[in-house]
Chain A
């Protein structure tokens, strides 16, 4: 089993993580990008500034991934969360999960994203033509 989580400022690239997760016992390798979209709640969005409590974010993200991996029984899980000002189309979240069969990977990917949105101390401030606002 391999787990890795990182809060980063650089662009998210999944290729290396997909290669790492592609091991002989895994028939499913799931990759996901969470991307800044151009609207939210009826307002236009041009960019989002992601900020975090770095020491705690890394720890809480690891807790979420460890819990999800144990609950779903996957072999590998890698998560990257990007911090800083991101334009529409840029990825804020990268996730790669691998398991012998597909269901566990899909379930684990969903669980990780749902849970991290509850506890990992990361915040976003959206910027659009109507101004900026904390989400």
Chain B
């Protein structure tokens, strides 16, 4: 299956591939994708590790299972206002 991964805030600069279509095994979780991205982009591992993750614009948890075609967003701590 494929998911679209997007990065925001500081991650939009430290991860070179944005947005990225990524091929994943069926049953992959948010946490699994996070670990995979940390290995692929070690320079951004710290920010990826602490980022919140949203699936199709809803906050999710590391044990959430990804589905084909979803948009997965990695969100560093927010600072609006």
Range class of the B interface residue count: 10 to 19
Interface residues of B in 46-68 (CB under 8 A from A): 54, 57, 59
B49 to chain A, nearest CB (A): 16
Interface residues of A in 66-84 (CB under 8 A from B): 81
**B54 engages A121 (CB within 8 Å):** yes
| Chain A residue contacts of B29, Cβ below 8 A | none
Q: Does B76 contact A (CB under 8 A)?
A: yes
Q: Does B75 contact A (CB under 8 A)?
A: yes
Q: How many CB-defined contacts (below 8 Å) exist between A and B? A: 61
A interface vs B, CB < 8 Å? 34, 50-53, 55-57, 59, 81, 92-93, 113, 116-124, 134-135
B interface vs A, CB < 8 Å? 6, 8-10, 12, 54, 57, 59, 73, 75-76, 78-81
New contact pairs (15) apart from A51-B9, A92-B81, A119-B59, CB-CB < 8 Å: A51-B8, A53-B8, A53-B54, A56-B57, A117-B80, A120-B80, A121-B8, A121-B78, A122-B78, A122-B79, A123-B78, A124-B79, A124-B80, A134-B10, A135-B79
For this complex, 13 residue pairs linking A to B, each with C-beta atoms less than 8 Å apart, are A51-B8, A59-B57, A116-B81, A117-B80, A119-B78, A121-B75, A122-B80, A123-B8, A123-B10, A123-B76, A134-B9, A134-B79, A135-B79
Give 5 nearest A-B pairs by CB, closest first: A122-B80, A123-B9, A56-B57, A134-B10, A135-B79
